[in-house]
Amino acid sequence: MQTYEFDTLILGGGPAGFSAGLYASRGGVSTALIDISMLGGQPSNYLELENYPGFAKIGGFDLMEKFEQHADMFGLQKFPMQEIEIIDLVSQPKVIKTKTDEFHAKTVIIATGAKPMKLCIPGEEEFIGRGVSYCAVCDGAFYKDKVIAVVGGGNSAVEEAVYLTKFASKVYIIHRRDELRADKIIQQRAFANDKIEIIWDSCVTEIKGDKTVNSIILKNAKNGESSSISVDGIFPYIGICPNIDKFSGQIAQDSKGFILTDETMKTSIDGVYAVGDVRNTPLRQVITAASDGAIGAVHSVKYIETLKEVKV
Ligand code: NAP
């Protein structure tokens, strides 16, 4: 096990983490970024973004590569594939032990993002990878000429349903209400797509299959009636929950677990900042994650300056 010392340690290599890495490194403090897996975060799995200013259309992976290269220019040190085992955010320096290394840092910027919420219904866990998927870009190509159900009515569900029509012969969007939550421009693309059928006011109550998924059971929210439809795959897109397993209990969170911050991205602990999807924020976009990262990093650098003043 090797021990590293940095001024700032960033947890998470998505847009918020890279932006924080760029601003902190450029701010003149030694900065490292660790991630549980490969770098790039959630946008790496987005086929295309069309609302990141300056790029009319850009692949999610390509944009994250640009973020990473830009942070590299200012000397950000990167440690992918680091699974956190122990974390002490209150001590000074703060201590993060991973399976292989130990990191000490004056400030920590939490940019661990969020993960898909599960339906928590019978058959879901059993058929993961055999008809249940949370990533259309990763798995869509397996469903050529097949029938797919996408669950949810938000931007993710509707965008991914439209994307899946590139492969599938039919895509059902199953939504629990009679109105979609997705942005109007995204809704219009779904309404105009012949391969998409929306099943309103319905919840999926069970996923059935043999070796792979072959049907789902629906319950109508208005009349309580149950029905079954044949599908080859199901993609739940019912929202996200924060990746906070390792620091739950150490830090103030909202009722859904998202980390609470002030306008400087400071959390309830001195020297600890939270940026991007992991924090309680009204908008979860690449642009807002990048903005959070910049704000958090600038204030983290200022905090490090105050530590130096105390020593003198
Ligand atoms: P979301 O906006 O929270 O939408 C979740 C959807 O799932 C809602 O329609 C919700 O229904 C439904 N739902 C929640 N729990 C459910 C359950 N147990 N069973 C069935 N349906 C359930 O989540 P998201 O679409 O994953 O998006 C997350 C964030 O990323 C949002 O801020 C979104 O705007 C952003 N995003 C933006 C873009 C873009 O701008 N291009 C793309 C993707 C995501 P109700 O509507 O009834 O609550």
What is the model's pLDDT at position 246? 84
Which residues carry out catalysis? 135, 138-139
Q: Whose CA is nearest to atom 18 of ligand 1?
A: 119
With 0-12 / 13-18 / 19 or more C-beta atoms within 10 angstroms meaning exposed / middle / buried, residue 185 is exposed
Q: Measure CA of the first residue to CA of the last residue in the chain; give whole Å.
A: 33
CATH 3.50.50.60 fits 2-115+240-311, yes or no: yes
For the chain, the average pLDDT equals 95
3-state secondary structure 9-72: EEECCCHHHHHHHHHHHHCCCCEEEECCCCCCCHHHHCCCECCECCECCECHHHHHHHHHHHHH
Indicate the CATH number for domain 118-236: 3.50.50.60
Q: Show pLDDT as tens, one digit a residue, over the chain (312 residues).
A: 899 999 999 999 999 999 999 999 999 999 999 999 999 998 988 878 889 999 999 999 999 999 999 999 999 999 999 999 999 999 999 999 999 999 999 999 999 999 999 999 999 999 999 999 999 988 999 999 999 999 999 999 999 999 999 999 999 999 999 999 999 999 999 999 999 999 999 999 999 999 999 999 999 999 999 999 999 999 999 999 999 988 878 899 999 999 999 999 999 999 999 999 999 999 999 999 999 999 999 999 999 999 987 665
181 CA → ligand 1 middle, Å: 7
Domains 2-115+240-311 and 118-236 share a fold: yes
Q: Measured from the CB, is residue 238 less than 6 Å from ligand 1?
A: yes
Q: Measured from the CB, is residue 240 less than 6 Å from ligand 1?
A: yes
Q: Quote the CA–CA distance of 78 and 274 in Å, as a whole number.
A: 18
184 CA → ligand 1 middle, Å: 14
Condensed to tens digits (0 to 9), the pLDDT of residues 44-53 reads 888 788 899 9
What is the model's pLDDT at position 248? 78
Task: Return left, alpha or beta for 41; rule: phi > 0 is left, psi -120 to 50 is alpha, else beta.
Answer: left
> What are the sequence ranges of the domains in the chain?
2-115+240-311, 118-236
- For residue 176, CA distances in Å to 80, 204, 230 come to 38, 9, 19
What is the model's pLDDT at position 311? 61
What is the model's pLDDT at position 47? 78
Q: Quote the CA–CA distance of 149 and 302 in Å, as a whole number.
A: 49
Pocket test for ligand 1, best of 219, 235, 238, 258 (most atoms within 8 A of CB): 238
